[in-house]
């Protein structure tokens, strides 16, 4: 770990001021990813702004009838929150599919969204990685790429975003509240994370000195028909190879609305609204789900060790939709 200076921010404005005043500064809250990366010299902030004392640790109703999750609410408190469990069980399930009880007790909701990739090369400073050190090259493309992207990757980076929670939030069309030097703004979760392109060092579209203050959940929670399906290499405590968050609004056997987000396949949670639209007005059935699954992975390209994800994603989407629709075969 490199040496750093440390301050405790007392409110959001102070945090933003503090991060602007220091070069190579980072916010720290749960620290469950940042400290790991600092110990292995992947991240080297010179200044840490401790934001754990900011008043962003509550879950509240919004005017439109949704929920606002404070940025500092822990993953555990979110997943087990009565209103989240009742109205957004998809989110609870997604959060509980990730990490461990210990990590969820400490990791915060905003921190979860900002965790870095689990690419083996990103994690090893003795190898080339464009995300860690732009311009050094991508070792994964020609190396070991089991946990890597099949969609939206670039010749510079094929890393995936590892969060399960983000996949759940993507399916829920959550919104991210941000405060920066220019004031507050709100962006849809689909705009928070980005594809690597030729700047893979940037994981998100947040401005340099911006801080996430809350996550807003719109009223539609798909509490009747949902599932979070996670495929991984062991039964718990492993990152997703392919995960699917699915939410359906079904009336009289007919789908009114469908949301599908994939995890483990791209640099961000993967949505295809045009494919989701294919289900609108259709009967919930395997026959209708299959073309959507095909559309979701259209254009997917795998590498030496992860091509299996394409077919796995297809099958997982169908399974997730079947489960969400409560169709037994």
Partner 1 sequence: MEKNTTASVSKEKISLTINGTEQQLEVEVWTTLLDLLREHLQLTGTKKGCDQGQCGACTILLDGNRINSCLSLAVMHDGSEITTIEGLAQGDELHPVQQAFIDHDAFQCGYCTPGQICSTIGLIKEGKAKTVDDIRDLMSGNICRCGAYSNIVKVVQEALERSQQA
Partner 2 sequence: MASEVIGKPKNRVDGRKKVTGQARYAAEFSVPDLTYGVVVNSAIARGTIKSIDASEALKLEGVLQVFTHENRTKLAYYDKSYQDMDAPPGSPFRPLYNNQVQFNMQPIALVVAETYELALYAAALVKVEYEQAPHETKFAAQRPYAYEPEEYKSTPPPEPWGSPEEALKNAAHTITEEYAHPSQHHNPIEMHASTVHWEGDGRITVYDKIQGALNSQKYVMGIFGLKEEEVRVLSPFVGGAFGSGLRPQYQLFMAVMAALELKRSVRVVLTRPQMFSFGHRPKTVQRLSLGASADGKLQAVIHEAYAETSRFEDYSEDVIIWPGVLYNCDNVKLSHKLVGLDVYTPLDMRAPGGTTGIFALECAIDELSYKVGMDPMEFRLKNYAEKDQIEDKPFSSKELRECYRQGAEKFGWKNRKQAPRSMREGHQLIGWGVANGAWEATQKPASAKAVLALNGQLTVSSATGDIGTGTYTIMSQIAAESLGLALDKVEFKLGDSSLPKAPLEGGSWTASSVGSAVKKVCNKLGEKLLELAQEIEGSPFKNVKIEEVVFEGGRMHLKNNSSTAIALTEILSRNKTESLQAEADSEPSDEQENYSRYSHSAVFVEVKVDEDLGTVKVTRVVSAIAGGRILNPKTARSQILGGIVWGIGMAMEEYSVMDNQYGRFMNHDLAEYHVPVNADVHDVEVIFVEEKDEIVNPIGAKGLGEIGIVSVAPAIANAIYHATGKRVRDLPITLDKLV
Dmax over Cα atoms in the chain, in whole Å? 61
Smallest separation, CB 228 to partner 2 (Å): 14
Helix, strand or coil, per DSSP, at residue 60: strand
The C-alpha atoms of residue 186 and residue 212 are separated, in whole angstroms, by 9
315 binds, among partner 1, partner 2, none (CB under 5 to 8 A by kind): partner 2
Encoded one letter per residue, x for contact with partner 2 by CB under 8 A and - for no contact, window 9-48 reads ------------------------------xxx-------
| 241 touches partner 2 by CB under 8 A | yes
Pairing type for strands 183-188 and 211-217 reads unpaired
How many positions of this chain bind partner 2 (CB under 8 A)? 37
> Of residues 37, 174, 318, 324, which one binds partner 2 by CB under 8 A?
318
| 303 touches partner 2 by CB under 8 A | no
CA 69 vs CA 108, 254, 299, 306: distances in Å? 10, 32, 35, 35
| 76 touches partner 1 by CB under 8 A | yes
Residue the block writes with tokens 């934001």: 51
| Residue 53 φ then ψ, to 5° | -95, 5
User: What are the DSSP calls for 23-50, one per residue?
Assistant: TTEEEESS-TTHHHHHHTTS---SEEEE
| 50 touches partner 1 by CB under 8 A | yes
| 233 touches partner 2 by CB under 8 A | yes
Encoded one letter per residue, x for contact with partner 2 by CB under 8 A and - for no contact, window 112-141 reads ------x-xx-xx-xx-----------x--
Sort residue 279 into left (φ over 0), alpha (ψ -120 to 50) or beta.
alpha
- Decide: 215 and 114 in contact? Cβ < 8 Å: no
| 14 touches partner 1 by CB under 8 A | no
> Of residues 36, 124, 201, 257, which one binds partner 1 by CB under 8 A?
36
| 125 touches partner 1 by CB under 8 A | no
Q: Please give the residue ranges that form the binding site for partner 2 (CB under 8 A).
A: 1-3, 39-41, 118, 120-121, 123-124, 126-127, 139, 142-144, 146-147, 231, 233-239, 241, 308, 311-312, 315-316, 318-319, 328-329
């Amino acid at each position: 770990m490199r040496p750093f200076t440390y301050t405790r921010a007392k409110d959001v404005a102070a945090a933003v001021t503090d991060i602007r005043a220091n070069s190579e500064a980072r916010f720290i809250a749960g620290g469950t990813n940042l400290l790991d990366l600092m110990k292995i010299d992947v991240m080297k902030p010179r200044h840490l702004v401790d934001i754990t004392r900011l008043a962003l640790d509550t879950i509240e109703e919004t005017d439109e009838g949704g929920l606002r999750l404070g940025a500092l609410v822990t993953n555990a408190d979110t997943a087990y929150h009565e209103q989240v469990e009742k109205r957004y069980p998809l989110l609870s399930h997604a959060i509980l599919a990730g990490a461990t009880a210990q990590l969820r007790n400490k990791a915060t909701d905003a921190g979860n969204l900002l965790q870095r990739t689990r690419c083996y090369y990103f994690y090893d400073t003795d190898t080339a990685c464009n995300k860690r050190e732009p311009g050094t090259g991508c070792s994964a493309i020609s190396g070991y790429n089991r946990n890597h992207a099949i969609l939206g990757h670039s010749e510079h980076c094929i890393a995936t975003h590892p969060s399960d929670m983000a996949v759940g939030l993507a399916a829920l069309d959550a919104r991210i509240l941000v405060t920066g030097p220019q004031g507050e703004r709100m962006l849809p979760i689909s705009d928070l994370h980005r594809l690597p392109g030729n700047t893979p060092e940037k994981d998100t579209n947040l401005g340099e000195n911006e801080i996430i203050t809350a996550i807003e959940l719109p009223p539609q929670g798909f509490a009747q028909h949902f599932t979070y399906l996670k495929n991984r290499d062991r039964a718990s405590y492993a990152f997703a190879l392919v995960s699917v968050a699915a939410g359906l609004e079904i009336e009289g056997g007919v789908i009114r609305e469908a949301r599908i987000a994939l995890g483990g396949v791209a640099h961000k949670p993967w949505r295809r609204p045009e494919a989701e639209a294919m289900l609108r007005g259709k009967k919930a059935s395997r026959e209708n789900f299959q073309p959507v699954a095909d559309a979701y992975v259209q254009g997917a390209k795998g590498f030496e060790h992860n091509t299996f994800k394409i077919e796995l994603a297809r099958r997982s989407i169908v399974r997730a939709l079947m489960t969400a629709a409560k169709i037994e075969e």
